[in-house]
Every structure is written in structure tokens, then in C-alpha cells.
């Protein structure tokens, strides 16, 4: 008999392999990679499933893909307004895997290895540093009487690089568990949806309806839980472009006020964002609360991002992408500073 760990590890590959196949560009990408699947050289090297996948030529390859693919978690179809090939807006059906269905599968069927001891250590560590999410959820966690597992929602845009459209991009979101860190990072990222960037009419029309369903699903995990555990989204990750697309905050990287989390600016004074001297008296002392973020940064009277409806939403949930902060931020500035001679 195979162990639960073996079953858990072997249950994922099919789910993971299809992650890159979602979105409007899937068919063209596979067709180019496997363009010779009917030639003599390719005979016997590609499966019938792969050959059929590469033959799609419809207007909605993502929908056609799911018609021929059996996933362990059944996606739901969300109808959104998207940009059609003729340049006009029309309806597009986007397959979305809801977090509560995905987590149910991973926990109940794959036996996702998250130790309750590590969960308690996580919250103890967060409380020790007075993390706002840990503080705001303290009463809820104590009353729940069961482990509260943290979740992370990540959004970003990636360039696919098709031969006939080398700059084509796809935007998507994935779900992960901060306390589950296998050796291969890709085994811990679970795609929820993706959309060809060329099809996005606007974030409000194309992405917000999907975020509405994701928010409801995540709140279901918080309110009802699965298999004796509840789950809370403690991290919303992405780059600065992604955050501004969602929340449209006034302070951003090319403005005079560069940070939506505090009052750091480009002026050469005590709030200079490059000043890392006495942090207690500089911009670090101006961190905004969630109420201040909503009141001072987010435009009023416009449709708001549904992620604000997450249970225990705090502005501290918005955590920057480490790659962008280090490689494109701190390291770029520190390396460039050596060229600044008096």
C-alpha cells in the first residue's frame, strides 16, 4: 500500500501541468511548440491528448481546453466583459478554480502536509511582532478552537513569447500555503485562473467579477473550514503594478508620494524614501492604518476591489514581490550608488 505522502505527491502533476495551459493563448502556444506533431519525426512521441490540445483553433481555447481535460477540481465558469478580436467588448467565459474546492481537494485527497505545531508557531511569531492581521484575528482564532491555516493569493502578469506575438502576456492568480514549502516551489503554487492580457477590457470589467467569486470562496474557508481546520488569507502578493491596478491608490512608484503604506516621498527631508537612517523619526513612523489607507489613498465613489471584502482585510496583507523589492529595488539602488561620486 502506498503511503499518504506518496499519494499526495503523485496526485498533483496533472493539476500542475495544466496551469500554464489556461488563457486565450494556450492553443497557439501548444501549436507552435508541437507544430510537427503530425510529421514523421513526431509520430509516437506525442500522445493523442497532446495532439488534440495543439489542434485547437477556436475563439476560446481556454474553454475548449477544459472540455478535453479532466481535472481533479472542477472549475466554475465566470462570465466577464472582455475585449474581442474585433476590438469591441463582448462576453468571455473564464474557467476559475475556486479556493475552497481546491483546498478541499488538497487537504482531503492529497493530505497536504501542514503541521498544526507549525501553525501555532506561525501565529505566535506574528503576534510577537504585533502583526495587524494576527492582532485583528486573535479573538477569532481563540474562539474557533481549531487550527487557522494562513493562505496567500498572488497575482501577476507574465510574457508568453509566442512566435506570432512575442510580446503577448497573460495575467493570472495562484493560491499557495505560506507554511508549505516543498523543495520545488512550483509544487506549492496552484493556479486559479488566467486571462490573455489582450482580452482585458479593464480590470473592473474583466478581473473584478472573478475576484468577487474568489473572495466569496476564501471567506467560505474562513467561516466554515475543511476537515477540522479553518483558513485565512494573510498575504496578498504581487508587484506594484498589480496592486495599483486593483486598488488604484494615489501614491505609487513614479509619483512624488511613492508609497501607499506610509508617507515616504521623493523630497529631500525626513520623509525621503531613500533615507534609511533614523527610521523611528522618518517615513517608518508614518505607517498608515487600514482605515487611513481606505480614506486617504483609495478613490471614493468608484467601484472597489472585491478583495477588500476578505475576512479580516488589512492593508498589511498587501506584501510586495520579493523579486521586485530585492533584485529591481534595493540591489539596483545600492549597485548604482557606487557610480555617484562627489
Mean pLDDT of 202-215: 96
At 154 the pLDDT is: 94
Measured distance between the N- and C-terminal CA atoms of the chain, rounded to whole angstroms: 71
Average pLDDT, the chain: 80
If you compute the radius of gyration of the chain from its CA atoms, what whole number of angstroms results?
A: 22
On whether the CB atoms of residues 75 and 97 are closer than 8 A, the answer is yes
Question: How confident is residue 271, by pLDDT bands cut at 50, 70 and 90?
Answer: confident
For residue 54, pLDDT over 70 is answered with: no
Name the pLDDT band for 329 (thresholds 50, 70, 90): low
Residue spans of the domains in the chain: they are: 4-24+59-248
Q: What percent of the chain has pLDDT over 90?
A: 50
Cell of 76: 466554475
The Cα 147–Cα 122 span in angstroms is 11
Residue 194 in this model has a pLDDT that exceeds 50: yes
Helix (H, G, I), strand (E, B) or coil at 191: strand
- One DSSP character per residue, 22-65 reads -STTHHHHHHHHTTTTTSTTTTTTS-HHHHHHHT--SS-HHHHH
In b/e form, how buried is each residue of 168-204, taking b as 16+ CB within 10 angstroms?
bbbbbbbbbbebeeeeeeeebebbbbbbbbebbbebe
Listed range (35-39, 121-125, 146-150) with the worst mean pLDDT: 35-39
**pLDDT value at residue 248:** 93
Question: Does residue 91 sit in helix, strand or coil?
Answer: strand
What mean pLDDT do residues 294-305 have? 90
Distance CA 172, CA 69 (A): 19
Does residue 127 surpass a pLDDT of 90? Answer: yes
Q: What is the mean pLDDT of residues 164-185?
A: 86
Q: Angle at CA 325, nearest 5°, toward 323 and 329?
A: 115
- What's the pLDDT score for residue 12? 39
87: exposed, middle or buried (Cβ count in 10 Å: 0-12, 13-18, 19+): exposed
Is it the case that residue 27 has pLDDT exceeding 70? no
Has this prediction a pTM greater than 0.85?
Answer: no
Q: Which residues pair with 230 in a beta bridge?
A: 148
| Between 34 and 134, residue with greater pLDDT | 134
What is the per-residue pLDDT for 38?
A: 42
Give residue 20's pLDDT. Answer: 35
Mean pLDDT over residues 312-326, rounded? 83
- In angstroms, the CA 113 to CA 138 distance is 24
Please report, for residues 22, 28, 29, 113, 190, the alpha-carbon distance to residue 33 in angstroms, rounded to integers and kept in the order given. 16, 9, 6, 35, 23
Task: Output the pLDDT for position 6.
Answer: 39
Q: What is the tens place of the pLDDT at every residue in 55-80?
A: 555 556 666 666 666 678 889 999 99
**DSSP structural state of residue 289:** P
Amino acid at each position: 500500500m502506498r503511503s499518504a505522502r506518496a499519494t499526495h505527491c503523485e496526485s498533483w502533476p496533472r493539476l500542475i501541468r495544466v496551469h500554464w495551459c489556461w488563457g486565450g493563448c494556450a492553443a497557439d502556444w501548444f501549436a507552435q511548440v508541437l507544430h510537427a506533431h503530425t510529421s514523421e519525426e513526431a509520430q509516437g512521441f506525442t500522445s493523442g491528448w497532446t495532439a488534440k490540445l495543439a489542434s485547437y483553433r477556436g475563439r476560446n481555447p481556454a474553454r475548449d481546453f477544459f472540455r478535453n481535460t479532466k481535472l481533479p477540481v472542477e472549475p466554475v465558469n465566470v462570465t466577464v466583459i472582455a475585449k474581442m478580436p474585433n476590438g469591441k467588448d463582448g462576453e468571455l467565459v473564464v474557467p476559475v478554480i475556486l479556493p475552497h474546492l481546491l483546498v478541499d481537494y488538497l487537504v482531503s485527497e492529497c493530505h497536504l502536509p501542514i503541521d498544526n505545531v507549525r501553525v501555532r508557531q506561525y501565529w505566535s511569531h506574528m503576534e510577537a511582532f504585533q502583526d495587524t492581521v494576527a492582532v485583528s484575528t486573535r479573538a477569532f482564532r481563540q474562539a474557533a478552537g481549531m487550527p487557522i491555516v494562513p493562505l496567500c493569493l498572488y497575482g501577476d502578469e507574465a510574457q508568453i513569447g509566442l512566435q506570432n506575438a512575442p510580446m503577448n502576456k497573460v495575467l493570472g492568480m495562484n493560491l499557495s500555503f505560506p507554511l508549505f514549502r516543498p523543495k520545488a516551489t512550483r509544487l506549492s503554487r496552484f493556479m486559479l485562473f488566467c486571462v490573455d492580457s489582450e482580452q482585458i477590457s479593464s480590470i473592473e470589467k474583466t478581473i473584478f467579477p472573478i475576484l468577487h467569486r474568489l473572495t466569496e470562496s476564501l471567506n467560505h474557508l474562513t467561516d466554515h473550514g475543511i476537515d477540522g481546520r479553518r483558513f485565512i488569507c494573510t498575504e496578498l502578493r504581487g508587484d506594484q503594478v498589480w496592486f495599483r491596478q486593483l486598488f488604484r491608490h494615489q501614491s505609487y512608484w513614479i509619483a512624488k508620494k511613492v508609497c501607499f503604506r506610509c508617507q515616504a516621498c521623493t523630497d529631500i527631508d525626513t520623509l525621503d524614501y531613500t533615507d534609511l537612517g533614523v527610521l523611528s523619526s522618518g517615513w517608518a513612523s508614518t505607517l498608515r492604518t487600514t482605515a487611513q489607507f481606505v480614506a486617504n489613498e483609495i478613490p471614493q465613489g468608484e467601484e472597489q476591489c472585491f478583495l477588500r471584502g476578505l475576512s479580516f482585510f488589512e492593508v498589511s496583507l498587501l506584501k510586495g514581490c520579493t523579486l521586485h523589492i530585492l533584485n529591481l529595488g534595493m540591489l539596483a539602488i545600492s549597485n548604482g550608488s557606487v557610480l555617484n561620486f562627489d
